Structure 1
Amino acid sequence: MQDQVVMALDELFARQRRLGGIPLVEYDAAFSSPAELLPPQAGKVGWQAWLRPEPGSFDNLANALDMPIHGDISAVFGHYYAGNIPACFKGLFLTLLQPWNEQDFERLQQNQIAHQLMMKKLKLPASWFLATGKEEQKLVTLNNASGEVQLERLGKGCIGVLAPNLSHFLRRLEPC
């Protein structure tokens, strides 16, 4: 399943390029990324998804949290450095998160741990955030047990299933 997620993510990056060309982000020389297409212009820099030579892993989170982690999480966050992707899924506007560089990958892992600890404290099923919703307090998450992609209200848990798995979700996600 992890290979399918990486392929679906690669297809999403290709759709994004076809739709709008090279996406731009604010340039920060102190927070550079191998995904950057230099030189920056007018305070912005273009980016293109950059395939990591060695994929990042979430095994350290599994050890820290003493729990198994759904393999799709490493697949979606561990293979590329890229900018976040504004997108739409069946009328739901969201921003798919992506690590910009190694430092951002580590920060993403720390935020995932905090999310997981909050879920545990609230006695909610384990999930991993994938995207933020346009509506405040809504997240798109991956259910750790089932692998379903779901819509969650922060601190309240799942409010609906969006897709049966992550590769299905990514293939139907439309960049905007």
Structure 2
Amino acid sequence: MSINHSSLINALEHFYQRYIQSYHQQHNQGPTVEHDEDWPSPCEQSKGADGERIYWQPVACEPPLDFTNIEQALELELHPDIKTYFGSFFSANLAATASDGGLELLFPWSQKDFERLQENILGHIWMKRKLKQEETVFFAVTDIDDVILSLVNSTGEIWAEKVGKKPHRKIADSMTDFINSLEPVV
């Protein structure tokens, strides 16, 4: 396991812990999501009192989720940080704030959701190639319309970009630095 892989796993685990603690402090219970029987997840713990919501918590993916199929389709090795970020845990998407404002971190909820995520990553990178732009992989949406947060595949840097446009503002030097800078919003 590389140092970067390990530090990113630690940053994600720490953020999850802070998110769950904040949720408990504000709601006197664990985090819940609306139950969707078409999208079951290993994150689901138990039904809430209303029967419509379900308690959940992040679950480590053992072994980590595999990106070989899309790397082969793209003839591109994805940056290790994006594979660690999306491949290490199943989780609900999580709201957070950064120095520049609000965002929602995207995570795969289940194996089925991971497959959908891979299709979206393929489409995103193919669009970048068609536009002759540097390859990025999105991982969060922001409070600003059409602005996403992406990892630049060649460097691992985190940038803001408008959908279909080149990245326009550097946010962090690495995914680990970025995750460590976030505050959970519950």
1:7-156 alignment to 2 at 5 Å? 7-21=10-24, 22-42=30-50, 43-156=52-165
User: Structure 2: how far apart are the matches of 1:14 and 1:103?
Assistant: 25
TM-score of the two chains, using structure 1 as the length reference: 0.96
How far is 1:7 from its partner? 1.1
How far is 1:59 from its partner? 2.0
> 2:38 aligns to what SS in structure 1?
helix
Number of residue pairs aligned between Structure 1 and Structure 2: 176
TM-score of the two chains, using structure 2 as the length reference: 0.91
> 1:104 aligns to what SS in structure 2?
helix
Q: Report what 2:182 is aligned to.
A: 173
User: Structure 2: how far apart are the matches of 1:39 and 1:133?
Assistant: 30
Task: Assess if the C-alpha contact under 8 Å between 1:58 and 1:73 holds in 2.
Answer: no
> 1:161 aligns to what SS in structure 2?
strand
Give the residue type in structure 2 aligned to 1:155: G
User: Structure 1: how far apart are the matches of 2:48 and 2:117?
Assistant: 25
> 2:176 aligns to what SS in structure 1?
helix
Task: Assess if the C-alpha contact under 8 Å between 2:138 and 2:150 holds in 1.
Answer: yes
Superimposed CA distance per residue, residues 29-50 of structure 1 (whole angstroms, 9 cap, x where no aligned partner): 2211111121243211121001
How far is 1:18 from its partner? 1.4
CA RMSD, Structure 1 to Structure 2 (Å): 1.0
> 1:132 aligns to what SS in structure 2?
strand
Give the residue type in structure 2 aligned to 1:69: L
Q: Report what 1:5 is aligned to.
A: 8
User: Structure 2: how far apart are the matches of 1:91 and 1:15?
Assistant: 20
Contiguous gaps of at least 5 residues in structure 1: none
- Which segment drifts farther, 39-48 or 165-174? 39-48
> 2:76 aligns to what SS in structure 1?
coil
User: Structure 2: how far apart are the matches of 1:140 and 1:5?
Assistant: 17
Q: How much identity, in percent, do the aligned residues show?
A: 31
Q: Report what 1:164 is aligned to.
A: 173
> 2:180 aligns to what SS in structure 1?
helix
